[in-house]
Amino acid sequence: MFESLPTPKPDGIIALMQAFAQDPRMGKIDLGVGVYRDEAGRTPVMRAVKAAELRCVETQESKSYLSLAGDQAFLDAMGALLLGGAVPAARVASVGTPGGTSAVRQICELIRSARPEAVVWVSAQTWPNHAPVIAAAGLKAQPYRYMDPARGALDHMGLFADLEQVCAGDVVLLHGCCHNPTGIDFSAQDWAEIAALLARRGAVPFVDMAYQGFGEGLDADAGGLRHLAARLPEVLVAASCSKNFGLYRERVGLAMAIVPETARATLAAALAGLSRQVFAFPPDHGGRVVSTILGDTALRAMWQAELEEMRLRVEENRRALASALHAKTGSDRFDMIAQQRGMFSLLPLSPDQVAQLHADHGIYMMGDGRANMAGLNAYSVPVCAQAIASVLR
Ligand code: PMP
C-alpha cells in the first residue's frame, strides 16, 4: 500500500529545531523556532497559568466529554478577548480547536464546504504553514504583495493594487497583529482602507490572530479585527493561545465565524460538524486554564502583567539589535527592526549569508532571514550584530 507514498518535504522550522539541538557549540544562538524566551533563554510556564492549572486540578470533577464546540466559558472568554464587544454575541459562532493551526485548517474546511471555488489571498510573505494548510483543504491560494524589501515596511501601493483583484466570495487572509515573518503590521488607517475595499468587492476577511498582546497591547492588537467585525457582514477568525498564554504544547485555539444573526446557528453547526470529522472534541485542559484566568480578576491581572513584561522585552530586544546593527554596519538598513512588532523580523540577508551565520557563528534563523526577536538577550545582541556585520562584508 505504501510503496509509492512520497516522503513529504521536511518542514523547515522542524529541521532547524533538530539541527540546533544537535549542535555541540557552546555559544549557539537560536533565533529559529517561534517561541517566547526570557532573558535566560527559557520558555517558562506563566505564573497565572500555573495557578489556574492548580485550581483546575483541584476543582475538576469529571473529564467526561463536553460538547463538540468545547467549553462554553472558554468560547465566551475568548470571544470577549478578541472582539471586545465590537459585535453582539448573537453574530458569533465558534469552536475550540487543538491550537491555532487546526483553527486555520478548520476555517479553510468551512470555506471549502461553503464555496469550494473561493480563492484564499495570502500575503506574499507569510507563516510557512499557511499555503500547505490551504492546499490540504483543497483551496487555491493567491499571494498579495505585502512587504517592500527596500524599506522593510508595508508595500502599501502593491498591497492595495493586488487586493483590487479579489473577486466577490474570495477570502483574504490577514494577520491580526505581529505579522509572521515580517513584523510589519497595518495601521488603523490601513485596516479602515482594507475594510472599505473588502466591503466594496464583497470579499471575506479571514484574520489569523496568533500573537494578541505581543504587538502594541491586548486591545490595540485586536483593533483591526474589531474594525472589520463591526463593518463587514462576514469575518472568519483563527486564534491561538500558544504564545500569549504560553500554552504551546497544550494545543489551545479557536475557530470563529462572525456572521449575520440569522446565519449563526448554521455556522455553529457547520463548525461543530467539521470538528466531529477530525478530532471530535477539542482538548479541554488548556482552554479551561484560559477561561479560569480570564474569568478571575486577580489571575487575569497577573496574566496581563506577565504578557506585558514579555511584550516589552521583545520590544527592548528590537531596539537593542537595531541600534547595535546601526553601529556595527554604519547604515540604517536594519533600523526597521525597532519599528516592527511581535516575535519576528525578516532580516535583509541572502540565503548564503544566513548559512554563513549558522556555519561560522552558530546563529540559527530561517533560510529567508526570519529571526525570532524573543530569542535574543543582553549577551546575544552584540554577538549577533557583530556576526551579521561580518557576513555583510
Ligand atoms: N498562525 C500564525 C501566523 C502563526 O505564527 C502560528 C504559530 N507559529 C499559528 C498560526 C499556529 O499556532 P499554534 O498551532 O501553535 O497554536
What are residue 92's DSSP bridge partners? 258
Residues 384, 29: Cα–Cα separation, whole Å:
8
Residue the block writes with cell 483553527: 103
Same domain? For 318 and 288 the reply is: no
ipTM: 0.99
Same domain? For 158 and 184 the reply is: yes
User: Annotated catalytic sites, by residue?
Assistant: 127, 208, 210, 243
Per-residue confidence of the chain (393 residues) as pLDDT tens digits?
999 999 988 777 888 888 899 999 999 999 998 899 999 999 999 999 999 999 999 999 999 999 999 999 999 999 999 999 999 999 999 999 999 999 999 999 999 999 999 999 999 999 999 999 999 999 999 999 999 999 999 999 999 999 999 999 999 999 999 999 999 999 999 999 999 999 999 999 999 999 999 999 999 999 999 999 999 999 999 999 999 999 999 999 999 999 999 999 999 999 999 999 999 999 999 999 999 999 999 999 999 999 999 999 999 999 999 999 999 999 999 999 999 999 999 999 999 999 999 999 999 999 999 999 999 999 999 999 999 999 998
Same domain? For 159 and 103 the reply is: yes
Cα three-residue angle 281-248-123, rounded to 5 degrees: 95
CATH number, domain containing residue 364 = 3.90.1150.10
Output the CA 261–ligand 1 centroid distance in Å: 29
Output the CA 210–ligand 1 centroid distance in Å: 5
CB 99 near ligand 1, within 6 Å:
yes
Domain limits for position 386: 12-43+312-392
Cis peptide before 181 (omega within 30 of 0): yes
Number of domains in the chain: 2
Q: Pick the residue whose CA is nearest to atom 8 on ligand 1.
A: 34
CB 183 near ligand 1, within 6 Å:
no
Same domain? For 320 and 290 the reply is: no
Residue the block writes with cell 506574499: 124
CB 244 near ligand 1, within 6 Å:
no
What's the confidence (pLDDT) of residue 135?
Answer: 97
- The single-letter code of the amino acid at 320 is A
User: Quick check: is 56 in a domain?
Assistant: no
Same domain? For 83 and 192 the reply is: yes
User: Quick check: is 366 in a domain?
Assistant: yes
CB 234 within 8 A of CB 207: no
Residues 206, 219: Cα–Cα separation, whole Å:
19
Whole-prediction pTM:
0.97
Q: Which of 79, 3, 9, 13 is closest to 343 using CA atoms?
A: 13
What's the confidence (pLDDT) of residue 300?
Answer: 98
List Cβ neighbours of 211 (8 Å cut-off, separation of 6 or more): 176, 177, 178, 180, 221, 243, 244, 342, 343
Same domain? For 194 and 109 the reply is: yes
What's the confidence (pLDDT) of residue 16?
Answer: 86
Output the CA 84–ligand 1 centroid distance in Å: 22
